[in-house]
Structure 1
Amino acid sequence: MKKNLTRTVSLFLSAAVLAGCTNFPKAFDHSGNPFTQPFNYEEAQALQTDAATFKGALVKEYQALATKEGVEWADWFDSDFFARKAIKVAASENGLPPEDPALWRFSKQEQAQFTDGYNALNAALETSRSSLPVLSAKAQASFDCWVEEQEEGWQHDEIAKCKDQFAEALNRLTGAQEKLTQQPAPKMELDLAKLYTVFFDFDSAVITPVGQQVLQALVQDWGAQAVNYALIGHTDRAGSQAYNKSLSERRAQSVKTFISELGLPGDKISTTGMGESAPAVATQDGVREAKNRRVVIEVQQ
């Protein structure tokens, strides 16, 4: 697919539509203008899908890209590109493949770079669509975003952003695949831990590299088992009780998002925030105790 539309044209036509339509964007007539085409944004945004599947997660990703292009940038032609992709994915059985860079206008150097990414992505998707559906959808949508922005070639910040998001998603995807496909030594059931603890930096809900390793071990140990996961967030005693309650909930949700992207089913994961009410180490109010800033994951059989 070759896109020959520029931002200048799209902004001009978007303004024309906005001036003439109450519910923007809509199909419109430009009296023979060669850029006339129907818009599909509203239809795409109305789609309801199961975001826990690859197909559903991919629809959500394309819906978000359509909104970014149209609502944020007033570029309704490129918005329609992603809207139509969302509609096609929703109508498909198992989703659609990523954009083929060979069908886009790139220099030889750009083409080589995109082809490498395209091949690496397809290789990863072969086995990860079902085992890591959300992360797989993120990787594909980020690649398509990179392709679309690079072909336009003028919003360099957006090009870099999409490219970096794709690289990060692909790295996480391949890393998670390696963890899931490794064949660990046989273990007796009693050898497997049922409590995993992830610690956090002060006033943060961002999972540290060490915390990521703990969660990857959790998925490796239990990902193939029919179990439930109870995530309980905690804080130290610095800050108000109300703030710490919210922070503990955000920490638990951050862990849920991470392990869901590694393939654990979201409906098997519960989250609770205890705030500062259940410290691992008793302290006075206001003390920043690192061992209390944690999420405890309990595996429930």
Structure 2
Amino acid sequence: MMIKRLTSPLAAVMSATILAGCANFPTAIQHGGNPFTQPFTYEEAQGLQASGTDFKSALIKEYQALATKEGVVWSDWFDSDFFARKAIKISEADGIIGPEDPANWRFTTEELTQFAESRQQLLAALNEGVGDFPMEAAKAQASFDCWVEEEEEGWQNDEIAKCKDQFAAALKVLQGVIAEKPTAELDMAKLYTVFFDFDSAEITSVGRLVLQALVEDWGKEAVTFELTGHTDSAGSKSYNEKLSLRRAQAVKSFVAGMSVAESKMTTAGVGETSLAVPTADGVREAKNRRVVIEVK
């Protein structure tokens, strides 16, 4: 016999007392939290301050939010306690406390298969991203744990889907920023970036200075220039693809006007598919409106 959601800590105590004689009732739920300790762990977790690494601080905030959602919003003090205790454990640990292993939860072998690949991808991304992208890494890990908790609970299909979708989106963002990270072998002196005003392909006064420096550095060398235009996420994808290409072509025309052969330049527009600063759809972000020139 199993009761997963209780309306309050008091109700949790009463239910546990009533069912104490039932042999199948788990008096200490391994991963669902403990309603007897909830008033203490929740308050302690909410009082935690940012400490340690940026990833650790971001992770604590994510689990604080999950504890609040489960307890205050849903009155699910079992799982509120679980997330609160995990926040406390993270704050006290010297190392990194990773995402949940679904094998330790109440899933059948068949149910576990849906998590296997996702968790493997998450661990790989965390291994590369916790240092450079702590906010994105924390969001991905906490979203995964949210999915595990809701899936095990198994009755709020909309919440299961919401947590699963949030995890997929967070993992995609984390993998994206990792992929964009320059490798150690990349010569940053061969990269130049020109930024643009919103919904514009006109080169600004600052952009002209960047391109003048580019030509001074490389204009007479036996090199080629790869110009890639980008946009932020405001506007439709099809429009942004065209705008990003117009930006790359504007840079090409300006550089050609300084006696650099057009045959040395290639242009491409990738729209909003490679954001320098990850954002939600429809967000105006100046650092994403750019043309990146790579000297090869």
TM-score (norm 1): 0.58
Q: 2:3 aligned with 1:6, yes or no?
A: yes
* Structure 2 Cα separation of the partners of residues 198 and 91 of structure 1: 45
* 1:14–1:76 Cα contact (<8 Å) kept: no
Compared with structure 1, are the counterparts of its residues 13 and 198 closer, same or farther at alpha carbon in structure 2 (3 Å cutoff)?
A: same
Give the aligned partner of residue 254 of structure 1.
none
Q: For residues 91-170 of structure 1, what are the structure 2 equivalents within 5 Å?
A: 91-170=92-171
* Structure 2 Cα separation of the partners of residues 139 and 122 of structure 1: 10
Compared with structure 1, are the counterparts of its residues 64 and 113 closer, same or farther at alpha carbon in structure 2 (3 Å cutoff)?
A: same
- Asked which structure has the greater CA Rg, the reply is 2
Compared with structure 1, are the counterparts of its residues 112 and 32 closer, same or farther at alpha carbon in structure 2 (3 Å cutoff)?
A: closer
5+ residue gaps, structure 1, are 20-28, 215-257, 262-292
- Secondary structure of 2:181's counterpart equals helix
* Structure 2 Cα separation of the partners of residues 207 and 89 of structure 1: 37
Give the aligned partner of residue 54 of structure 2.
53
* 1:51–1:60 Cα contact (<8 Å) kept: no
* Structure 1 Cα separation of the partners of residues 54 and 233 of structure 2: 25
Give the aligned partner of residue 44 of structure 1.
45
Quote how far apart the aligned CAs of 1:259 are.
2.8
TM-score (norm 2): 0.59
Quote how far apart the aligned CAs of 1:12 are.
6.2
Amino acid across the alignment from 1:127: E
Q: 2:255 aligned with 1:259, yes or no?
A: no
Q: 2:175 aligned with 1:174, yes or no?
A: yes
Amino acid across the alignment from 1:37: F
Give the aligned partner of residue 204 of structure 2.
none
Q: For residues 69-108 of structure 1, what are the structure 2 equivalents within 5 Å?
A: 69-108=70-109
Quote how far apart the aligned CAs of 1:74 are.
0.6
Compared with structure 1, are the counterparts of its residues 106 and 16 closer, same or farther at alpha carbon in structure 2 (3 Å cutoff)?
A: closer
* Structure 2 Cα separation of the partners of residues 45 and 108 of structure 1: 35
Give the aligned partner of residue 267 of structure 1.
none
RMSD, aligned α-carbons: 3.8
* Structure 2 Cα separation of the partners of residues 5 and 58 of structure 1: 30
* Structure 1 Cα separation of the partners of residues 19 and 285 of structure 2: 61
Compared with structure 1, are the counterparts of its residues 179 and 294 closer, same or farther at alpha carbon in structure 2 (3 Å cutoff)?
A: closer
* Structure 1 Cα separation of the partners of residues 111 and 182 of structure 2: 33
Quote how far apart the aligned CAs of 1:77 are.
1.1
Quote how far apart the aligned CAs of 1:296 are.
3.8
- Secondary structure of 1:11's counterpart equals coil
Amino acid across the alignment from 1:7: K
Quote how far apart the aligned CAs of 1:175 are.
1.6
5+ residue gaps, structure 2, are 21-26, 29-34, 201-231, 245-275, 291-296
Compared with structure 1, are the counterparts of its residues 260 and 133 closer, same or farther at alpha carbon in structure 2 (3 Å cutoff)?
A: farther
* Structure 2 Cα separation of the partners of residues 12 and 48 of structure 1: 26
| Residue-by-residue CA offset, 1:177-225 (whole Å, 9 max, x unaligned) | 1111457864546x6125354549xxxx9645659x98xxxxxxxxxxx
* Structure 2 Cα separation of the partners of residues 103 and 16 of structure 1: 23
* Structure 2 Cα separation of the partners of residues 80 and 199 of structure 1: 48
* Structure 2 Cα separation of the partners of residues 188 and 197 of structure 1: 24
Quote how far apart the aligned CAs of 1:32 are.
10
Compared with structure 1, are the counterparts of its residues 97 and 187 closer, same or farther at alpha carbon in structure 2 (3 Å cutoff)?
A: closer
* Structure 1 Cα separation of the partners of residues 80 and 97 of structure 2: 18
Quote how far apart the aligned CAs of 1:173 are.
1.0
Aligned residues: 206
* Structure 1 Cα separation of the partners of residues 196 and 88 of structure 2: 40
| Residue-by-residue CA offset, 1:95-127 (whole Å, 9 max, x unaligned) | 301000111121333201112111111111111
* 2:233–2:284 Cα contact (<8 Å) kept: no
- Secondary structure of 1:192's counterpart equals strand
Give the aligned partner of residue 192 of structure 2.
192
Show structure 1 runs of 4+ deviating over 6 A.
none
Question: Identity over the aligned pairs, expressed in percent?
Answer: 44
* Structure 1 Cα separation of the partners of residues 196 and 52 of structure 2: 26
* 1:55–1:94 Cα contact (<8 Å) kept: no
Compared with structure 1, are the counterparts of its residues 5 and 16 closer, same or farther at alpha carbon in structure 2 (3 Å cutoff)?
A: closer
